[in-house]
Structure formats: structure tokens, C-alpha cells
């Protein structure tokens, strides 16, 4: 991996200094609460293969909801538009774990990035793969080229222990017949997916096909068609950032997906994929410093899609 | 105005033949219900000044909610980000005239493209301009270079007569102190704005600054900063198409704003603005054929922003 | 009017001393905000004709939402169960002026004691009486035997000026075709009804038919059938006290209707009607001391219906 | 047990003939779906000890949600008003199993007769009794004087298998910290309680304390204070019949609690308790013929509380 033009990211990191200390590290499970708040890493992967990194870009962290993006990518690559028979693709206007819309819409989750939607995706993944639980992990190892990716079992167990809202969503989905597998098993597999650890470098590389017309980084061929890549980007932009979809598009201008581990993956179609990590979260559960970093990035490089 | 490469739009028009007859012309007011359903026009305005047209591209029609886009553009050009102190910029997840979110959020409309948001914009416009009602009309005449633009008074009167939902929203906003002017007066001015008639050619030209870093068509200088243009595009993409924001982004991939008159304006940043007109609407109130036309356009020209 | 056994009410008044100063006088219009908070009156009207009073029982105050009870009584006496084709009779689970349920239920108000329901009742009253606005006033004069009852025009004008939520409800109802008359006219008549002033003695006498199988106080015959009286009591008990219906039934155990003027009318079927007045309101808009007074009354006289 | 004046109930049964065949037997679990739709029983238990019966009044059926009434009665008798720290006592305005209000109110169920409320009661029962599951069964045996009451294990197992909505509610409650025990265990105990089988005669006797100032039938002393009995009746009237609370009070005029097994228990304070059974349900899940039977009963005996 060759690292060029470090000055851009270094410049962004300097500009971010005043942003630290304003958010709060996720504390709903102990394993996440112990992550040092001042961690910061960023990796930019251009479609021509160049990679830029700064800070803790090589340090693995909990990808959490970013896993939803790759679950969607995997399913689209396997079954195509059939995914949309089981989840919608409209923004919810609400928070990530609300049951209200789910009840109003008879158990069809509004989009794949709500927890309810991700549980349906997990159920689909399990159905496609004889309930093997490491499907997504293997997909991420292949995409990132990093065979050492692992599930953090302490985090997974802790998520499972505190996963009452997800269980509630799972059983509600089951009551509508929207989940085929055993609910508890779906929750287990979902929690394991969220507890996968990856670095910014891993994530940027894994997301590159979305920026690169479906082609994986290096010489491995395509994982999505160009049209599929574009459409996943569209769903990310309109649904990826919970209840701040509009503000994020306004400020950053890239399709993106964040997780409560403090990571955000974003895509500048035709240009680059980028991953940023800073554990302090804003009130909506997105990385506070990470969002600012991406805003500086698109502003400095004029790479907003708008 | 010079018209080149007609073949692209002609090709799209041919592909659209099977799409006619599937939607329904708006019938909540007689003046709109009488528009022939098979009307179709399209105008593409490139940032280099070239214009392509097809069909009824020069025939004026009722712009309806597309007026919201230009009201936002005018206000951003006048007061900048102060607009966002009075309306939000998040998708609503609901229909265009719902009172539910408004009540939950203490009278702050979710975004400027909901009717409630548009009423607040109208109130701001009136406040800025000593309650002169033709501010938006004059702005549109300047942007489009068409001094003959008019309000269709029959349509405006009919809207006013049937405007009970808007009055209800207006008084709810007033109860929260979100509207300064007299509610009935705001409704009148809003109905007049919706009843402005423009052709696809007019609309594409008026929207060009959004595609062209804020610069108006021809040699008239800028109406928005580059950043303002990008940000309006972001709000359009996440909030412009009512409760089909996600599907539209997925299928078309451009920031856009439609109206129940059957028009849609869309923007390919750095490339072109486009307006399409076909009066038959889908269940969400967007032009059925118009949406299909834009999907073909971005697909054939690979100009989706994703 | 002969007043016997004053000791019961005097005893209750003594017990209430610690309850004063805990609520707040309605302040959304100046005319109500100026009422002295320590006013207190109570009148008990037995079915045998005896009347007990205490405190400011003869002083007129603004009946506000208590007017809804008499509008319902008048309409039931005129058109019977046809009333229920235009309003429901289920508790709303929400506050008195919410638009949310109204939108969910296509404009049919949940019950006649919500503001939306009262506007529909007012529209029905107007339709039945050639839009004469003093129908309810005349009905109340007859029921109470007090020909000097008046609308407080200052209060009515002030309600009208601040009536944006009611206007919003009115136009929403109009949009669903649930109101026939001009909305602004309905609001005017409704505000005038709320601004009628009556004393506890007037109110207790006017409500007596509900306790007395439909028979009016004195020798004037019946105004409702026995069955109609019972049914109005049932609607009062399940819907009369806004979002504290359950707590009020639990604590007091009588059908009742309150208003933000601080009055509450309650009915012990077969025994007595009662009116109490104390302007300080709890958070739900019911009289704080008045509720306590009624709880003491049913407890001391063992007259809860449960 | 001596049975007098059969003519009243026989008369009612005759009047009910045209009401059969209009509702539908509950079919969400096979064990309930197989109950013959034309079953009908009724038992009236006067406070003076007399009992009237008709039809299948001695045949046990699944009490289902009527168990909620006795769980509340037991808890009130054990911990008094402390119950209300964990559930509310307001009507919900919605259906029995909605998650929407629960989320809006941070996990405090609106009332003890919603499924969410009943799960909290079950958790309280378990906490008070070292998690012995037969507490309610023993309470009902004592109240009814029928030591042979049993849980129908086939029904209980079937409820458990189809209990996804309840599980979803249980986990949502757990996420808010409103349930102490293991959720699955609470669901098991709750399903067992719903699957208790009792006859109309059993139920009327068990409910007698609510009509009889807290005193049990026969000579066993009191189970509730007079005030507690009244207050449970108040909660039943405002919350007992799901989303038809208002219509039921309007039509029948008694506090009542129904179950999808087709039973309804009602209370005429100071006069009698009554149980009726007919398996065909209306759209809200209440016994169709049973509701009609109670309406005839209160009308013929003039025993509405209103």
C-alpha cells in the first residue's frame, strides 16, 4: 500500500483540533465506552489505487452499523433488486431503532439502514447461506484484502446482553412474518456483524467498489454492476445517517454510513472512498469529529456530489 | 436559443410511449384537471449554454410546488443560512401536507418542500419585501429571461378556494408563532406562486444556476455562491420528492423538485439542468412519465450523481 | 332557591385549604389571566330540588369547554343518535386540541369534547338553527332559569384573536368535508359559546337533567329521555376530562366536564349535579382545587358511580 | 349455589337470537379457533348471594385477557397504589397490542389492560411471589371457590408459540428497565394466565368483590377495601374494552373486561357481578353476542351506572 500526498489529510487533522471533546463516546455497552475519545484516523482510497492515511488509520475499531452497508452490498450482489421486496428505500424521518413506523407499515422496514431493516437483511443473509454466521465477515475479508479481520467476541456478547430493543424489533418483524429464522439467532448473527473490527484503511478499501463502478480495489474484478453501485450510493445518501440525513447531505455532500463505534464510510463516486474514525458521537449517534473531517474533505477537494 | 443534438431527447420520448396512461392528472381543482393528459415536453440546458428540447417544451404549465424550489433559492440568495432558523432540512418520511410532524416538532416544518415549510418561506419572502406579492414572479422572470411569465389567476383563485389544508397548516404555524403575516394573506401569496405558469425551457433556464455553481444562464453573473447552489441541491435530493425521495434518488439519481402540474425540474451539477412536463401523476403526486423520462436521461447519459 | 345542610360543603372547603396555590390560572388570553386565583365556589343540586352552595357559588365565570357538554345535550335532544354520524365517542388518549388523530381518522373527531368535535357540534347547531348564534345561550338560559346569562364579549373577542389552533382544526375539518358552514363563522360562534358566563348555581341547575333521568330542575318537564341522559353521562366519563379521563374516574368517580375557566360540572346519576369553580388549573387544563373538591365530595357522600 | 328468577336471563337469551353469526371466533391459535361459535352462557351473581344462570354458564372456557382484571385485583390487594408507579390508568385510544404509545411514553404502559401493562403486572406478580407461576391460578381458585380451575396447557403452549407481539412488547419494556424478570419467562407465565379456563359461574363469583365493596362471595371476608374495589371499577370502565371503551360505556354502562375467548365480566356496583360467554368476536376482539347480552341486561334491569 503506497501512501501519497499526506499533506491534505494532515491539513484536515489540524483543522479538526477544536472539534474534539464536544461529543460523547457510546456508552450503552462497556466494551465501547472504554475506547479512548481522542482516537482519530482517516484513510482515503482513490479509484486509481492511491491511498492516503493519517492518525490511527491502521487501528481496528468496532464497525457497528457500518456493517449494514456491507450486508446490503453483499445481498445486492447475490440477489439484486429482490432485496427491495423485503425492505423499503425511503428515509424514515425518525431514529434508528423506532418501532413506530414498523407498526404503521405492517412490518416492512423503511430502509436497510434502520435496525429493523438490518435484521431483515441478516435474516436474508442467513437464508442464503445455510445459516452460516461468518458470511459477512468473509465478504469483508475479501473486499478489504485483510484476512485477519475478526469479530470482537466481548463486544458481540455485550451487544447481545443489551440487545432488548433489537429483540423487540425482531419479534415484531416475526409477528408480521418478515423474518424466517429464529429471532434470537438473527439477533446473535446481527450482533456479531456489528462487532466486526476494521481499520479506516480496511473500510476505505472495502467500500471502494461503490466509488469505482462496482470494481474492487486492485485486480479482483467486479463485485457489483455499475448500476448497483450507484443505487446503493443513492440509498446511503437518503437513508444512511439516521435522522440527520438531510443535514449531512447539506454539510458533507457524499453518500455515507456511520456507526456508533465512531466510524463513517463515505463515497465520492468516480473519485474515492474514505473512512474516518473518531469515537465521540453527536446526539444522533454519528461521529462528531468524523462528520467535520468529511465536511472539510469535500470542501477542500470540491468533491461533493452536489 | 440554439437547439442541438435533438436525437437524445427524441430517443427518450420514443422509449416513454408505454408509460402514458398509467398515472392520473391532478383533479383537486378544475383548472388543473382540464390539462390534456398526453402533453409532454422536455428541455435540457447545459452549463455551456446549449439547450435541447422536445415535444411541448415551449408550452407554459402550472409550476405548482416547483415554486418552492425557487422561493428557497431566492431566500438563500437574500438571507443565506438564516433560512434554516425557520425551517429544517430533513426528509419527513411522510406526505407533503401532513400536520402530524408539524405538531410533534412545535411548528418548525421539517423542510422547505413540505407545504408547511413553503408557507414559512412565503412568510419570509413577504417580510423581506414589504409584502409585495410579485417578488417570486419577478425573480423567475429574471432567471428565465422570460418577461412574459404570469400567474394564472383562474388557477390561483381555484387553489385559494380549495386551500383548506394549507389554511389549516398556516393557522397551526401561526399558533406556534412561526408565521408573522396574516395567515390568509400568506395563503393568497402562496397560491399565486403555485399558479405561475412556465414552460420546460423557462424552468430549465431558471434552474441552471443550481447546476452551474450559482451562475445564471448567459452572461448575467451569479445568483448564488457555489456552496449555496450545492446545498440547495442537497436539500432537493433528500427532501424534494415528498415520500418518494429514496425511490427517486435510487431510480434517477439527481436532485429534483416536482409539482402536481406535472412538471419536474432536476439538476446534474456541473453538467445541466433539465425540466420535464407530463401531467399524469403517480400516487405520490409526481409526474409518472416525467420520472421515467429523467431515469432514461441519467441512464443514457450516465449523469446520475451517484 | 333554598339552601340546606351547608356543613358538608363548608367541611369540603376547609379540607381544600392546602390545595390552593398549586395550579396556574389560564393565561393564554388576558381576560382569563386576570381572574383572581383564590376564587372558589361550589353548588350541589339534588334531584329532589334541594341546593347547597358555598363560597363564590353565585359569581359568574367563563364556562369555556363546559359549553361542549351543553352543545352535545342540545343536539342529542334535537337530532338524537344522528350526532354520532359526525363525531365519535371514544377517548382520544391525547390532548384536547391535537390534530394528529384527526388526520389519522380522516377528519372524524374522536369525541365531542375535543376541540375538533366541538367545532363539528357547533357547525351542526348552526345548520339546525339557520345560523343563529345565540341558540346555545338561549338553551342555557332556559336550563338554568337564569335569563340574564350573557356572552362576555371581551373574552369572546380575545379567544377569536388567539384562536389559531381552532382555526387550524376548523380548516382541516373543512378539507375533509366535515364542516358545512364557513370556518371563520364556526370559530366565531364557538368562541362566543366558550365565553358564556355562568355561576356554579347556574351550571348545577343546567346539568340537573343528566342526573335526573332527563328532567329539568323544577317543573318544566324533560329535555332528554332517560336513556339519552345516561348515554351523555357515559361519554362524559370516558371522554370529558381530556388526557386525565382515567385518573379523574379513578379519583372522583363521576362523569364530569371541565373548562379552562376553572369550572367543572359533574353528575351523580339519580342523586345530584354539582358545579365547582376554582381558576387554578393542573397541567392538563382542569381545575386543580375543583378536582380535589369533587374527590372529597364523592368520598364523604359515598356517591362515586363505581 | 341456588339459581332463582331464570326468566330474566332466558328472556335476554331469546332476544339475542338474531345476533349470532355476525362475529368471528378468534383464530390466531388453533385451540381457540375450534370452539363452537354458537356457545352461549351467562351467570349473574347478586351481592345478596343469589345466582342466575342460563345456557352454557357452567362450561369452562379460556379467560384470556380477563386474567388481566384479576392480576390487577390481586396486585392492588397486595401492594395497593404502588401498582400505579409501574403502569398508568388512562385509556390508550388504540388497540390492545400497540407499541406506539409504549415508545412515546418511555416504556410505561398506558394502563394495565393493554398487553404491555399486563406484562408489567405479570412481572410484578412474579417478583412478589418468588416467581411461582401459579399465583394467579390459586387466587382465582380461592375467589371462585372452584379448586378444580386449571390452565389449558394446549392453549398456553399455542399462545407461547404465536406470542411474537408479546415478546416484542416484553423486550421493549425490558429495554426501558420496566420488567425485572427474564422476558421469556414473563411471557410464559402470562400465556399460562390467559389460558386458565373458567365458567361464567366461576367468573361472576370471582368478580363479585368488585360489586360488593371488596367482599368475596359467601362468608370469606374481604379481598379489597371498598375504595380499592371502586377504583378498579373506574379503571375497567375507562380502559377495559380496548378501543371500544367509549362505545361500550355508551351502550352497556358497566365497568367490564373482555377476552378473545369470548368472555366478558362486568360489574354493577352494589348490585351484581355478571359473566357472559359467546365466542364470536367483533372487530375489536370483544364478544359480539356478549356485548349485546349485557346491553339488554342493563336496559331491562336499569342497572347502568350512568
Residues on chain C touching B98 (C-beta within 8 angstroms): 103
Q: Exposure of C147 by Cβ count < 10 A (0-12 exposed, 13-18 middle, 19+ buried)?
A: exposed
Per-residue confidence (pLDDT) for residue B2, from 0 to 100: 46
Measured CB to CB, residues of chain C less than 8 Å from chain D are 88-94, 101, 110-111, 229-231, 233-235, 237-239, 243-247, 249-250, 253, 255, 269, 304-306
Strand partners, A247: none
Strand partners, C275: C43, C265
* Residues A139 and A222 reside in one and the same domain: no
Give how far C63 is from chain D: nearest CA, Å. 23
List pLDDT tens digits, range C263-288: 999 999 999 999 999 999 999 899 99
* Residues D189 and D259 reside in one and the same domain: no
Q: What residues contact D241, with CB distance under 8 A and at least 6 apart?
A: D248, D256, D257, D258, D284, D286
Residues on chain B touching A243 (C-beta within 8 angstroms): 90
Q: Exposure of B20 by Cβ count < 10 A (0-12 exposed, 13-18 middle, 19+ buried)?
A: middle
Q: Cβ–Cβ contacts within 10 Å for residue A235, how many?
A: 29
Strand partners, C54: C42
Candidates C58, C114, C80, C129; CA nearest to C227 is C80
pLDDT at C83 over 50: yes
Per-residue confidence (pLDDT) for residue D215, from 0 to 100: 92
Q: Which parts of chain D sit beneath pLDDT 50?
A: 1-3
Q: Which of D104, D168, D183 sits opposite A172 (nearest CB)?
A: D168
Strand partners, A44: A52, A274
Q: Which of A246, A305, A306 sits opposite B91 (nearest CB)?
A: A246
SS3 D42: strand
Number of H helices, E strands in chain C: 13, 10
Cell, residue A141: 475479508
pTM: 0.92
Active site amino acids of D: 65, 68, 190, 242, 260
Say if A1 falls within a structural domain: no
* Residues A99 and A86 reside in one and the same domain: yes
List pLDDT tens digits, range B217-262: 766 688 999 999 999 999 999 999 988 999 999 999 999 999 999 9
* Residues A59 and A71 reside in one and the same domain: no
* Residues A206 and A281 reside in one and the same domain: yes
In degrees, rounded to 5, the angle at the alpha carbon of residue A97 between the alpha carbons of residues A96 and A101 is: 95
Round the CA-based radius of gyration of chain B to a whole number and report it: 18
How many angstroms separate the first and last alpha carbons of chain C? 31
CB-based contact D306 C110, cutoff 8 Å: no
Active-site choice (B62, B68, B151, B245): B68
Q: Which of D99, D170, D183 sits opposite A99 (nearest CB)?
A: D99
Which residue of D249, D268, D294 to mutate against C (max C Cβ within 10 Å)?
A: D249
Active site residue B242: yes
Asked if C280 and C262 touch (Cβ cutoff 8 Å), the reply is yes
Asked if B26 and B284 touch (Cβ cutoff 8 Å), the reply is no
Measured CB to CB, residues of chain B less than 8 Å from chain A are 88-94, 101, 110-111, 229-231, 233-235, 237-239, 243-247, 249-250, 253, 255, 269, 304-306
The DSSP symbol for B95 reads -
Q: Which of C90, C233, C253 sits opposite D93 (nearest CB)?
A: C90
Asked if B306 and A234 touch (Cβ cutoff 8 Å), the reply is yes
pLDDT at B7 over 90: no
* Residues A27 and A145 reside in one and the same domain: no
Per-residue confidence (pLDDT) for residue C1, from 0 to 100: 42
Per-residue CA distances from C212 to B231, C254, D221 (Å): 68, 14, 36
Per-residue confidence (pLDDT) for residue C5, from 0 to 100: 52
Per-residue confidence (pLDDT) for residue B248, from 0 to 100: 97
Q: Quick one: pLDDT band at residue B129, thresholds 50, 70, 90?
A: confident
Distance CA A43, CA A293 (A): 11
Say if C149 falls within a structural domain: yes
CB-based contact A99 D98, cutoff 8 Å: no
Neighbors of chain C by Cβ distance (3+ pairs < 8 Å) = B, D
SS3 D201: helix
Say if D306 falls within a structural domain: no
Interface A-D: count of C-beta contacts within 8 A: 55
Per-residue confidence (pLDDT) for residue B106, from 0 to 100: 79
Cell, residue D144: 371462585
Distance CA D130, CA D74 (A): 15
CB-based contact D172 A175, cutoff 8 Å: no
Q: What residues contact B12, with CB distance under 8 A and at least 6 apart?
A: B42, B54, B293, B296, B297, B300
List pLDDT tens digits, range C216-235: 876 668 899 999 999 999 99
Strand partners, D276: D42, D264
Which residue of D163, D167, D183 to mutate against A (max A Cβ within 10 Å)?
A: D167
Per-residue confidence (pLDDT) for residue A220, from 0 to 100: 66
Domain that holds residue A260: 6-63+197-301
Give how far B118 is from chain C: nearest CA, Å. 17
Per-residue confidence (pLDDT) for residue B217, from 0 to 100: 72
Candidates B238, B207, B239, B209; CA nearest to B226 is B209
Neighbors of chain A by Cβ distance (3+ pairs < 8 Å) = B, D
Per-residue CA distances from B229 to A197, B82, B211 (Å): 38, 15, 8
Residues on chain B touching C100 (C-beta within 8 angstroms): 99-100, 103-104
* Residues B10 and B75 reside in one and the same domain: no
| Lowest model confidence (mean pLDDT) among A69-78, B41-50, C87-96, C147-156 | C87-96
Measured CB to CB, residues of chain A less than 8 Å from chain D are 98-100, 103-104, 164-165, 167-172, 174-175, 183
* Residues B182 and B226 reside in one and the same domain: no
CB-based contact A172 D98, cutoff 8 Å: no
Q: Which parts of chain A sit beneath pLDDT 70?
A: 1-6, 94-101, 103-104, 131, 218-220
Distance CA C32, CA A158 (A): 56
Would the CA dihedral through C41, C44, C45, C50 be positive or negative?
Answer: negative
| Lowest model confidence (mean pLDDT) among B12-16, B90-94, D229-233, D278-282 | B90-94
**Cell 420496566 sits at which residue?**
D178
* Residues C119 and C231 reside in one and the same domain: no
Per-residue confidence (pLDDT) for residue C212, from 0 to 100: 95
In degrees, rounded to 5, the angle at the alpha carbon of residue C93 between the alpha carbons of residues D126 and B105 is: 110
Say if B306 falls within a structural domain: no
Measured between CA atoms, the residue of chain A closest to residue B251 is A231
Strand partners, B151: B196
Q: Quick one: pLDDT band at residue C2, thresholds 50, 70, 90?
A: very low
Among D196, D220, D247, give the residue marking a domain's end.
Answer: D196
Distance CA C246, CA D96 (A): 16
Distance CA D143, CA A221 (A): 75
Cell, residue A68: 449494514
Per-residue confidence (pLDDT) for residue D1, from 0 to 100: 42
Among C196, C217, C240, give the residue marking a domain's end.
Answer: C196
Distance CA B97, CA B84 (A): 20
Among B195, B216, B251, give the residue marking a domain's end.
Answer: B195
How many angstroms separate the first and last alpha carbons of chain D? 31
| DSSP-based helix, strand, coil % in chain D, nearest 5 | 50, 15, 40
Asked if C68 and C257 touch (Cβ cutoff 8 Å), the reply is yes
Say if D212 falls within a structural domain: yes
Provide the mean pLDDT of chain B: 92
Give how far C36 is from chain D: nearest CA, Å. 32
Strand partners, D196: D151
* Residues A91 and A143 reside in one and the same domain: yes
Core vs surface per residue D137-148: b (16+ CB within 10 A) or e: bebbbebbbbee
Say if A277 falls within a structural domain: yes
* Residues A178 and A213 reside in one and the same domain: no
Which residue of A159, A163, A168 to mutate against D (max D Cβ within 10 Å)?
A: A168
If one counts the domains in chain A, the total is 2
Say if B1 falls within a structural domain: no
What values do phi and psi take at B281, rounded to 5?
A: -105, 150
CB-based contact D237 C233, cutoff 8 Å: no
Measured between CA atoms, the residue of chain C closest to residue B170 is C168
Q: Which of C98, C100, C168 sits opposite B168 (nearest CB)?
A: C168
Which residue of C83, C102, C234, C283 to mutate against D (max D Cβ within 10 Å)?
A: C234
The DSSP symbol for B26 reads -
Active site residue A278: no
CB-based contact B238 A253, cutoff 8 Å: no
Per-residue CA distances from C112 to A114, B54, C65, C71 (Å): 39, 56, 11, 9
Measured between CA atoms, the residue of chain B closest to residue A302 is B227
List the CATH number of the domain containing C174. Answer: 3.40.710.10
Say if A47 falls within a structural domain: yes
Active site residue A147: no
Q: Which of B98, B104, B175 sits opposite C168 (nearest CB)?
A: B175
* Residues A71 and A164 reside in one and the same domain: yes
Candidates D106, D283, C90; CA nearest to C101 is C90
Cell, residue C188: 366565531
Measured CB to CB, residues of chain B less than 8 Å from chain C are 98-100, 103-104, 164-165, 167-172, 174-175, 183
Distance CA A169, CA A109 (A): 10
Measured CB to CB, residues of chain D less than 8 Å from chain C are 88-94, 101, 110-111, 229-231, 233-235, 237-239, 243-247, 249-250, 253, 255, 269, 304-306
**Cell 381530556 sits at which residue?**
C242
Amino acid at each position: 500500500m503506497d501512501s501519497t500526498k499526506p499533506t491534505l489529510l494532515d491539513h484536515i487533522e489540524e483543522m479538526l483540533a477544536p472539534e474534539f471533546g464536544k461529543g460523547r463516546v457510546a456508552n450503552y455497552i462497556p466494551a465501547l465506552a472504554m475506547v479512548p475519545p481522542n482516537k482519530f484516523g482517516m484513510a482515503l482510497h482513490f479509484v486509481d489505487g492511491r491511498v492516503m492515511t493519517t492518525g490511527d488509520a491502521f487501528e481496528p475499531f468496532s464497525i457497528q452499523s457500518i456493517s449494514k452497508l456491507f450486508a446490503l452490498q453483499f445481498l445486492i450482489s447475490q440477489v439484486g433488486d429482490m432485496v427491495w421486496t423485503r425492505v423499503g428505500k425511503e428515509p424514515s424521518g425518525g431514529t434508528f431503532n423506532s418501532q413506530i413506523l414498523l407498526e404503521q407499515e405492517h412490518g416492512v422496514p423503511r430502509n436497510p439502514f434502520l435496525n429493523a431493516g438490518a435484521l431483515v437483511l441478516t435474516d436474508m443473509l442467513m437464508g442464503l447461506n445455510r445459516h452460516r454466521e461468518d458470511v459477512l465477515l468473509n465478504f469483508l475479508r475479501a473486499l478489504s484484502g485483510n484476512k485477519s479481520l475478526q469479530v470482537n467476541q466481548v463486544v458481540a456478547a455485550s451487544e447481545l446482553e443489551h440487545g432488548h430493543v433489537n429483540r423487540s424489533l425482531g419479534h415484531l418483524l416475526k409477528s408480521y412474518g418478515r423474518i424466517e429464522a429464529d429471532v434470537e439467532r438473527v439477533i446473535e448473527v446481527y450482533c456479531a456483524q456489528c462487532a466486526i473490527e476494521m481499520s479506516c484503511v480496511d473500510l476505505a478499501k472495502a467500500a471502494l467498489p461503490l466509488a469505482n463502478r462496482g470494481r474492487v480495489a486492485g485486480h479482483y474484478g467486479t463485485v457489483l454492476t455499475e448500476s448497483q453501485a450507484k443505487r446503493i450510493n443513492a440509498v446511503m445518501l437518503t437513508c444512511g445517517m439516521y435522522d440527520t440525513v438531510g443535514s449531512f447531505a447539506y454539510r458533507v455532500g457524499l453518500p455515507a454510513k456511520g456507526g456508533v463505534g465512531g466510524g463513517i464510510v463515505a463515497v465520492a463516486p468516480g473519485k474515492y472512498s474514505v473512512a474516518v474514525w473518531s469515537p465521540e458521537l453527536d446526539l444522533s449517534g454519528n461521529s462528531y469529529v468524523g462528520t467535520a473531517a468529511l465536511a472539510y474533505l469535500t470542501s477542500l477537494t470540491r468533491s461533493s456530489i452536489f
